[in-house]
A and B are shown apart, each in its own frame.
Chain A
Amino acid sequence: MAKALPGRPNKVAKTALTHLVLVLLSVAFVTPLLWMLSTAVKPITETMTSPPRWIPSHVLWSNFPDAVKFNSKELGYIPFLVYARNSLIVTVLSVGGALISNSLVAYSFARLKWPGKDLFFGATLATMMIPFPVLMVPTFALFKWLGWVGTFRPLWVPMFFGSAFSIFLLRQFFRTIPMELSEAAKIDGCSELRIFIDVILPLSKPALAVVALFTFMGAWNDFLGPLIYLVDQTSFTLSLGLQAYQTQHGGTPWNLLMAASCLTIAPVVVVFFLAQRFFIQGIATSGLKG
């Protein structure tokens, strides 16, 4: 049995220190979320105590179904499930639109030749500098003119036309795929569309996962869009609807609001946890550093 080589004492200390720092920072980062969870299971009288208590006297798991109830005494008419459905609709459409449009466009930038391509790509990058507020008024006027205000369409239709960040990300990734693969397929007589679907897309799953995740998060958490375009309360998305919990005339039941917030975050957390390796790989190989 070989004797374990004595590692440089620095190395052991360094690893221990790293671990310690990581643990401390994790605690700092996760504390607000734990507090949210703690408040979510408290009875209302224990939410505002000084000093704050972490463990409630009895854990009210019933806060979760209570927060979701359609018409409760504390909350009145706050249809959490309706909001969730609306968020789902908008998010599914946004992610679908983003995946389809951005991959097609990025493909054209990365693998095809066409007049003005490089100039247009430069312009695309430049648009990332345009802050949304400067576009807000005319965009609103445009949707008003189309009669789309009060519907979900202003929230997901633009996603079917591409967005600069996702185009950039996917284009960088597509460029890392060897041209030989495309050329071989072309020799076999495939159209560009065939090459795109059969050759490029299957190899791009990590990058597509990144686009899907970023778009999902953006759509699920979007606040300003629904604030401007959604009118009828029954059409609100979760992000907007949660605010209704807060500003309601009948007072804020903090514990129920936190319970509803936990439920809102849950899907995104689950998706991220499952997909994170995929996701990190996607960012790494898309060569964002370029």
Chain B
Amino acid sequence: MNARASLALGSVAAALVAAAVWGEGVVTRQAIPDRVTVIYWEKWTGAEADGMRAVINDFNASQSRIFVKYLSISGVDSKTALATAGGDPPDVAGIWLDQVCQFADAKALTDLSEMARESGLSRDYYITNYWDPLFYKGKLWALPSTPASVALHVREDLVPPEYASPETFPKTLEGMDALVDKISKRNEDGSLKMAGFLPSDPGWWNWSWGFYFGGKLVDGDRLTVNSPENVRAYEWVASYTKRFGTKEVQNFQSGFGNFASPQDPFMDGKVATEINGVWKGNYIHVFKPGLKWFAVPFPYVADHPELAGMSDLSQDILVIPRGAKHAKEAFEFIRYVQRQDVMEKLCLSHGKNSPLAKVSEHFFNTHPNKFIRLFDKLARSPTAFSPPQIGILPRIQSEMNVAFQEINTGQKTPKQALDDAEARLTEQWQIYKSQVLEK
């Protein structure tokens, strides 16, 4: 072999070895010696991640036994499930409340009941609407990191003055629909210019419209996706595409800017009202300060006044996967987050409300959302609802999304779409019960 060839081959080999070694260095977990390292996988990036990182830094500085390491993981739910299966899960995982039953059924979580009790956490420490959904089949599976509630956001400058305040805005859905008819505007060519309301904006709760009409998705062991109340709810959804025109709505929507930018449809004046979560106030504060808006509970249907004060409650939750190496230390960190001052600091940084029963005046006064008290009140409302506790909830939500899109694009009538979803989901539920639950 001549010298040049050997040199070439040698350098190629060296480059490969160097790359391999470099690659190994990138993904090795770095542990701090003489501290227990708690690995925490969380979905948040950007400013929300910064909020949690600040809390973690405080925790790490406050004691010298445990070091929490924060990792931003996209698809944190499926990655956590896979890591748990492989016996190498993170110690703390930040998933969504919607998944807790699926994970619990799959036996992927550590039961927190005992540890919570020992550390003084109980139902009266929390807003019960947030505490109850964390209990499933008699055990506690998670604790909240940040909760949320939703309300109707209204542009003061886009509704007539007689309705432009929380007290005078229509309280019933029928009243809101009438207002929408009055104030929506079109361009000369017939395309939409401003929509009073659009059920598909922002489109994050397509699965839960039925609740506002008294419908449920699950009743005991049965699925009730196509119950009369749900059909009525989605007929109301369909009335909006009828009102504005299917194609007009689609075109209009495709031009919506991203929600965290001044081109967000609500901030940009493309919609006059929008159902959205408590964090919206923060985004408005950042991207369009000075915007004149207010929030009201989502209107109730006139024939169900007892449903007044409904709100879709969601939570980001912290769980300890089964088989986590440092479960005790992980719980210590989670417990730290539940402290009132820590929780308020975290929720303030996210612009969300607090899940705790007691809230300090300081929290309310310094909160970026001027209507935080309303969101707090809605979270405590007896008519507020959380996602149904059923293991196939993610599947239900995705089927409901499909049904919503079918209705919104005029492909199926609400009854058809819901009947189809009910049929598919009932079958999936049977399979789930026989394959997952009966083990």
Contacts and interface: CB of A to CB of B under 8 A. Distances in A.
Q: Do chains A and B touch in the complex (CB under 8 A)?
A: yes
Interface of A: 44-45, 48, 50, 75-78, 85-86, 88-90, 92-93, 96-97, 144-145, 147, 149-153, 156, 194, 197-198, 227, 231-235, 243-244, 247-253
Interface residues of B, number: 40
Interface in B320-357: none
A183 B14 CA distance: 32
Nearest to B90: A231
B255 A48 contact: yes
B73 A232 contact: yes
A153 B19 CA distance: 11
Given A75-B46, A232-B71, A232-B73, A152 B16 contact: no
Given A48-B257, A92-B19, A93-B23, A149 B45 contact: no
Contacts of B262: 45
Interface of B: 1-2, 5, 9, 12, 15-16, 19-20, 22-24, 26-27, 44-50, 71-75, 79, 82-83, 85-86, 88, 255, 257-263
B45 A48 contact: no
A198 B46 contact: no
A96 B258 contact: no
A83 to B, nearest CB: 11
B43 to A, nearest CB: 8
B22 A250 contact: no
A290 B368 CA distance: 69
A48 to B, nearest CB: 6
Nearest to A96: B16
B89 to A, nearest CB: 11
A85 B19 CA distance: 10
B3 to A, nearest CB: 12
A197 B72 CA distance: 46
A253 B287 CA distance: 13
A48 B254 CA distance: 11
A96 B15 contact: yes
Contacts of A150: 27, 83, 88
9 contacts: A48-B257, A93-B20, A145-B86, A147-B88, A152-B27, A153-B23, A235-B26, A251-B261, A252-B258
Given A93-B23, A149-B82, A231-B79, A249 B48 contact: yes
B22 A89 contact: yes
B16 A248 contact: no
Which of B24, B45, B85, B263 has the most chain A CB atoms closer than 10 A to its own CB?
B45
Nearest to B16: A96
Given A93-B16, A233-B73, A250 B26 contact: no
Nearest to B283: A251
Which of B2, B27, B48, B75 has the most chain A CB atoms closer than 10 A to its own CB?
B27
Contacts of A48: 255, 257, 263
A88 B22 CA distance: 11
A76 B46 contact: yes
Given A48-B257, A96-B15, A249 B26 contact: no
B47 A151 contact: no
Given A48-B263, A96-B12, A231-B83, A77 B258 contact: no
A239 to B, nearest CB: 13
Contact of B45 (A90, A151, A153, A250): A250
A96 B15 CA distance: 9
Main secondary structure of the interface of A (DSSP, over half): helix
Contacts of A227: 75
Nearest to A231: B79
Contacts of B259: 251
A151 B83 CA distance: 13
B260 A152 contact: no
B108 to A, nearest CB: 15
B23 A90 contact: yes
Nearest to B268: A48
A203 to B, nearest CB: 13
A149 B86 CA distance: 9
Contacts of A250: 45-47, 260
Contact of A93 (B1, B19, B48): B19
Contacts of B88: 147, 150
B5 A151 contact: no
Nearest to A232: B71
A210 to B, nearest CB: 18
A73 B264 CA distance: 18
Given A93-B19, A250-B46, 4 more contacts: A76-B47, A76-B49, A86-B23, A149-B86
The 8 closest A-B pairs by CB, nearest first: A76-B46, A251-B260, A251-B258, A250-B46, A152-B23, A233-B72, A96-B16, A89-B23
A86 B26 contact: yes
B260 A249 contact: yes
Which of A48, A50, A194, A247 has the most chain B CB atoms closer than 10 A to its own CB?
A48
Given A48-B255, A197-B5, A251-B260, A151 B27 contact: yes
A198 B1 contact: yes
B45 A76 contact: yes
Contact of B46 (A92, A234, A235, A249): A249
Nearest to A89: B23
A149 B83 CA distance: 8
A89 B20 CA distance: 7
A151 B23 contact: yes
Contacts of B27: 150-152, 232, 235
B14 to A, nearest CB: 11
A153 B262 CA distance: 42
Contact of A197 (B1, B19, B24, B47): B1
Which of B12, B46, B258, B259 has the most chain A CB atoms closer than 10 A to its own CB?
B46
Contacts of A89: 19, 22-23, 26
Given A247-B74, A249-B45, A250-B46, A44 B23 contact: no
A75 B27 CA distance: 23
Which of A50, A149, A153, A231 has the most chain B CB atoms closer than 10 A to its own CB?
A231
A98 B257 CA distance: 44
B86 A144 contact: yes
A144 B84 CA distance: 11
A9 to B, nearest CB: 49
Contacts of A75: 46
B347 to A, nearest CB: 16
A78 B257 CA distance: 21
Contact of B82 (A92, A144, A153): A144
A76 B53 CA distance: 13
B203 to A, nearest CB: 15
A66 to B, nearest CB: 15
